[in-house]
Structure 1
C-alpha cells in the first residue's frame, strides 16, 4: 500500500475519539472499552456499528474511533486501536500482511463479503470507446479524448478514490502507458455524486467503483478488464507488459477481512469470538448501503433495523 502514513504519528495522525457507548456489563470480561475504527465509506460504518451494537448486547463497553484506513494499522499494533471491521483484499492486503507479520495484529477471518474495486464506466461509453472492457482500448487517442474533460484534454480523465484508500492507480496509469490523468475524489460521497450527475446526462465518466455498493446495482456499466492481478505484478517490475515497472495489472479481488489487535483474544475472549463469527454477504450489505445513500436513512436506523430482523443470528455470535 503506497499511501500509508508514518507510524510515528499514531495518535495525532489517525485518532479522533467519537461516540462512546456503554452497556451494562453482563458477560464482558472487563469494563475497558473496545475501540472499533470508523472510516469514510458507508458500508464500513454499517458493519462497524452492527458489530458495536452486538458487542454492547453482550455487555461490552464500546468506543468508536475515527481512523485513517491504512494508518490505523499503527494503532492496531500498539493496542491503541482494537478492531477494524473492513480491510479490503483489493487495497489493504499489503498493509495487512505487514501488520500480521509483526504478531501484533491478528486476521479474524473474512466478513462474508467479497470485494471488487476497479475502473468502471457506464455502458453508454462503449460506443465512444470500441474495444471496452479490454483495457487496451484505453490506450487509443480516440478513447482518451472520449473520456477527457476540459482540464485533462487531450488526456482522458480517470476519477480515482480518495488518496488514503490506496489502490495504485497513478502507478497503474504510468506502468500501462495510458493517456489518462488520475484525479482523486476528495470523499466517497463526491465520487458517487459525480457518477450520478454524469449518468443522468450521459456524460463521459470513468471512475473507481466498488462492490458491495449500490452503484453497480443501480447503473448499467462494466469494470475495465486489466491484466489479471498476481502478487508478482506489484512486487516484480519484470512481471507483465512493462518490464521496467510494477503495477501493470488490475487490482486484486477477494475477501473483506476483519482484523484486531492481537491482545483482544486474551483481554476480551468473548468479543474475539463474536467478531470472528460476524458475517454478512454482498447483497445484504448492498441493500443497507442503498438505504443510507439513496433512501436517506441514517446509519443508526439501518443498523437498528438489521438488529431487529436478525436477533437469532447475532445472538449466536455472542453465546
Structure 2
C-alpha cells in the first residue's frame, strides 16, 4: 500500500539538525558536535553554488555526508508526517549518544526518497508504507536497496468520522449510507457536495478514484499538510461538527479526537492495482525499513542498529504526541521516551 507521495512530490530539502550543546550522557545519543555545523554549512554552500542562482536542486543531491565510506555519519530520510519524524528522532538520538555518529536528516517525499536511497544520497528510510514498483526496481532488479526489516508498526489508511457523530448516526459507518449524510459534511470548499478531507496533495491516496467509482456525492478537499488537516479536525471536534476525513493509524490524534472508521468495500489482494479503477478499502500494511545496499554492507554499527530498530505503535504514538501536541522538540521527545523505555532500545544496540 502506498501511504503517501504521488508524482506531484515536492522537491526534497536538507534538514540539518545538529546540536550545539551537550547534556551529560544518560540513556542515549545526542546530535552532531558544533564543529560539524561549520563543515556542513560549507558543504551545502558548495552545493548551492554548483547549481547556479537560486536554491540547490535537491532532487539530484542531498546530504554531502550520505554514504560516506568509512565516516561515522548517517543520513536518514524523514517524511512530513509526525510518526515518521518520531522514528527518526529516536534513531538519531541513540545513534549520536550511544554510538557516537553524526546524523544528518533529509526531508523528502516517499517516492523521491527511494531514488535518493538508491543513489546513496540517504542511507536509510525508517518508515515505508509499501511501494511495490520501487521495491521491484531497486530491491529486486538493481539491488541498490536492501530490506531493513519490519518497523514493528502496522499502518492503515481509511475514511473516518468523529465517534460522537457515529454514535448519533451508527449507519454512517457503512459507505453505502454516506450520500445520506452528504449535506451534513458539506463545506464552502466542497461546494454542493459533501467534503472528504484529505491532507497533502503529495500524499498517495485513492480517494478521488474511490469517490468516483463508488458514485458518491462527495468532493475530495486537500488541507495542504498533515498539520493543517489536524487543525481542521480539531476545530470541527471542538465545535462538535460532523466531518469525513482520510486518516491513518498509527496516529496520536485518535487520543485527542476519537474517530470511527467507515467500512469501505472489503480489500482484496490486487483490488488497488489500477489506480483509476480502485473501488475497495485500503489494506493493513506492516511498515518496513530500507537501507542503501552499500551502507548495509559497510555501515557498521549504524547499519546494525537500524536493522534492529523495532518498536510498537504505542511507542511511536508516545513520541508523536510529545512532538505534535505537547510541542516538545524531537530531540527532547526522544530523550523522554528513552528514559522510560531503556530495556526496549538497549536491545537495538549492536552486541
Deviation at 1:248, TM superposition (A): 0.6
Q: Does 1:81 align with 2:79?
A: no
Whole-Å separation in 1 of the counterparts to 2:158 and 2:15? 32
Structure 1 contact 39–68 (Cα < 8 Å) conserved: yes
Indicate which of 276, 287, 312 corresponds to 2:318: 287
Q: Describe the SS at the equivalent of 1:192.
A: helix
Aligned to 1:47: 87
Aligned to 1:135: 175
Q: Describe the SS at the equivalent of 1:165.
A: coil
Deviation at 1:95, TM superposition (A): 4.0
Deviations 1:55-106 (A, max 9, x none): 22223332111212222111111111111111124xx455445442332222
* Structure 1 stretch displaced more, 210-219 or 119-128: 119-128
What is the RMSD computed on CA atoms of the aligned residues?
2.7
Q: Describe the SS at the equivalent of 1:171.
A: helix
Aligned to 1:242: none
Deviation at 1:310, TM superposition (A): 3.2
Structure 2 contact 146–296 (Cα < 8 Å) conserved: no
**For residues 262 and 58 of structure 1, do their structure 2 counterparts lie closer, same or farther at Cα, with a shift above 3 Å needed?**
same
Q: Does 1:216 align with 2:214?
A: no
How many residues are aligned here?
301
Aligned to 1:113: 153
Aligned to 1:34: 74
Structure 1 contact 209–216 (Cα < 8 Å) conserved: no
Q: Does 1:264 align with 2:274?
A: no
Indicate which of 19, 27, 40 corresponds to 2:17: 19
TM-score, normalization by structure 1: 0.85
Whole-Å separation in 2 of the counterparts to 1:285 and 1:123? 23
Aligned to 1:64: 105
Q: Does 1:304 align with 2:303?
A: no
Whole-Å separation in 2 of the counterparts to 1:86 and 1:110? 9
Q: Describe the SS at the equivalent of 2:171.
A: coil
Aligned to 1:100: 139
Structure 2 contact 147–291 (Cα < 8 Å) conserved: yes
Structure 1 contact 129–137 (Cα < 8 Å) conserved: no
Whole-Å separation in 2 of the counterparts to 1:35 and 1:199? 39
**For residues 169 and 186 of structure 1, do their structure 2 counterparts lie closer, same or farther at Cα, with a shift above 3 Å needed?**
same
Aligned to 1:194: 232
Whole-Å separation in 2 of the counterparts to 1:315 and 1:14? 32
TM-score, normalization by structure 2: 0.77
Structure 1 contact 15–65 (Cα < 8 Å) conserved: yes
Structure 1's unaligned 5+ residue stretches are 238-244
1:175-186 map, 5 Å: 175-186=213-224
Deviations 1:149-183 (A, max 9, x none): 13324311011121222022112212222111001
Deviation at 1:53, TM superposition (A): 2.1
